Each structure stands twice: as structure tokens, then as C-alpha cells.
């Protein structure tokens, strides 16, 4: 793979044109190992911070019970963080993670204490029939796996489904972010999927103008949405209703 200095980051690369290993056929052991490395990355590079900071703006009138749905929940680490946040703030929550990959529910269940009461579902969130209304939709490091038309569909679904708000926590496409990942990876040595997929993810990631274009296409009121840069390497989109 070319060095980040040789890559043009001006335009987002389609996931169809630049696939990630974790999106292809693989063993459960490799998939689980990749998810565990991603959890380490989120911990060490402050990946949960944007979502938890957004939750601090939760309207005071809403104290629960709140139904959270994490789209593309992977190994479940974001919902475990949200469970801790809810416990610290005495907010009653119902937590559901949904992921297309059937390995995800198994990996999440293995890593999550039963007493947290998180439900893990395999399926397409946009087609799934929810038994209870969804208050808040979150996702982390999922949007860059989608084509533009899929992101537009996701935004429209979140707008109609989330009664209280939604938040997308994803990567910022930049040479600096890609270089930073490379520096850390060489020091730590994560799973081989992550070593390959990390630089690919940054090329499939976003700049602010990408989100403006996607929000416009989804007919989401731009004035109602926040687009926030978070160091290191995150660009997040949120909306309270």
C-alpha cells in the first residue's frame, strides 16, 4: 500500500473500490481478534469521548427509560460504555446492538457481562421491526463501511426512527489522521486486519463537506445538525430533536 504522503485525500474512496478485510469472508477468530483490537484503539485514542460528550447534552426532561440502538454494534464496546454512562448518571436505559455480521452478536455477548442486559441482534437496522420505540440511535466506525447511497438511506432512517436524537461517530479523512494511525500501529502491533484496514478506513472516511452533501441529499435540516471535529482523527455528526 502506498504511504499516506502519496495518497490523495481530497475525495472519498468508495468501499466497493477499496475493500476492508473485516468486511470479507473470514473466520470467527479473526473477526473477534479484529474487534478486540478496535476496542483497544477506541480506548487509547479516545474514540468513545465524542459520543459520551454528546450524551451530556441530553435534554434534562429525558431521564429514561431510554431505548438506545447501536447500528453496526460490532463487539459491543460502545454500548458497554453507554451502560456505564447511564449507571453513573442514574438514567434508565434499554440497550440494543444490531449488526449485519452474525459473528458480531456472538463476539459482543462473549465480551459483555450478562447483568448489563444488552440485547444483541443480527440484521439490517433499516428493515428490522423494533418491538419498542427507539429513542436514540448511535453508531461508531460504521458509516465509512457504507456507500454514499447507503449513508443517505441511514440518515433518513435515523431521522424517522430516533425519537430523541442520533449520533454518528466516525473517522476524518486526512493525511494527518492516517499518519497518526500508522505511528501508533507500529508501536503497538494490532491484529493484521486492523493493520490493513486502518489506512483503508481513512481513505473511505469523511470531511465536513461530505457530510453537508449527504445530509442535504437525505433532506435532513442542516441547521439542526452538528458536525464536530474531534482529535485524534474523528469527525462526528449529531442531532437532538
Whole-structure pTM over 0.75, yes or no?
Answer: yes
Average pLDDT, the chain: 93
Per-residue pLDDT for 216 more than 70? yes
- Dump pLDDT digits (tens) for 40-72: 999 999 999 999 999 999 877 666 689 999 999
Average pLDDT on 81-109 reads 96
Average pLDDT on 134-156 reads 98
Buried b (16+ CB within 10 A) or exposed e, 173-192: bbeebbbbbbeebeeeebbe
Per-residue pLDDT for 2 more than 80? no
Judge whether 56 and 124 are in contact, CB under 8 Å.
Answer: no
pLDDT exceeding 90 applies to what percent of the chain?
A: 86
One DSSP character per residue, 8-69 reads --SSPPPTTTS--GGGSS--HHHHHHHHHHHHHHHHHTTTTHHHHHHHTT--TT--S-EEEE
Q: Which of 143, 141, 142, 147 minimizes the C-alpha distance to 233?
A: 141
Looking at residue 180, its pLDDT comes to 82
Spatial separation of the C-alpha atoms in residues 83 and 86, rounded to whole Å = 5
Average pLDDT on 94-120 reads 98
Q: Which of 102, 99, 194, 103 minimizes the C-alpha distance to 138?
A: 99
Amino acid at each position: 500500500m502506498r504511504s499516506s504522503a502519496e495518497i490523495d485525500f481530497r475525495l472519498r474512496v468508495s468501499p466497493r473500490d477499496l475493500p476492508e478485510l473485516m468486511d470479507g469472508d473470514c473466520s470467527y477468530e479473526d473477526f473477534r481478534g479484529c474487534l478486540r483490537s478496535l476496542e483497544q484503539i477506541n480506548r487509547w485514542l479516545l474514540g468513545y469521548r465524542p459520543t459520551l460528550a454528546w450524551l451530556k447534552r441530553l435534554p434534562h426532561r429525558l431521564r429514561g427509560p431510554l431505548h438506545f440502538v447501536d447500528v453496526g454494534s460490532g463487539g459491543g464496546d460502545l454500548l458497554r460504555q453507554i451502560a456505564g454512562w447511564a449507571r453513573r448518571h442514574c438514567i434508565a436505559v434499554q440497550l440494543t446492538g444490531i449488526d449485519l455480521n452474525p459473528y458480531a452478536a456472538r463476539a459482543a455477548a462473549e465480551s459483555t457481562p450478562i447483568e448489563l442486559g444488552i440485547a444483541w441482534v443480527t440484521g439490517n437496522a433499516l428493515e428490522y421491526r423494533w418491538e419498542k420505540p427507539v429513542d436514540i440511535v448511535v453508531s461508531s466506525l460504521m458509516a465509512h463501511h457504507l456507500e454514499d447511497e447507503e449513508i443517505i438511506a441511514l440518515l433518513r432512517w435515523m431521522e424517522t426512527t430516533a425519537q430523541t436524537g442520533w449520533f454518528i461517530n466516525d473517522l476524518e479523512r486526512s493525511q494527518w489522521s492516517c499518519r497518526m494511525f500508522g505511528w501508533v500501529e507500529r508501536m503497538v502491533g494490532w491484529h493484521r486486519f486492523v493493520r490493513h484496514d486502518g489506512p483503508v478506513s481513512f481513505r473511505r472516511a469523511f470531511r465536513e463537506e461530505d457530510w453537508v452533501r449527504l445530509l442535504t441529499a437525505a433532506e435532513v435540516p442542516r441547521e439542526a445538525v452538528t458536525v464536530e471535529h474531534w482529535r485524534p482523527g474523528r469527525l462526528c455528526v449529531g442531532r437532538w430533536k
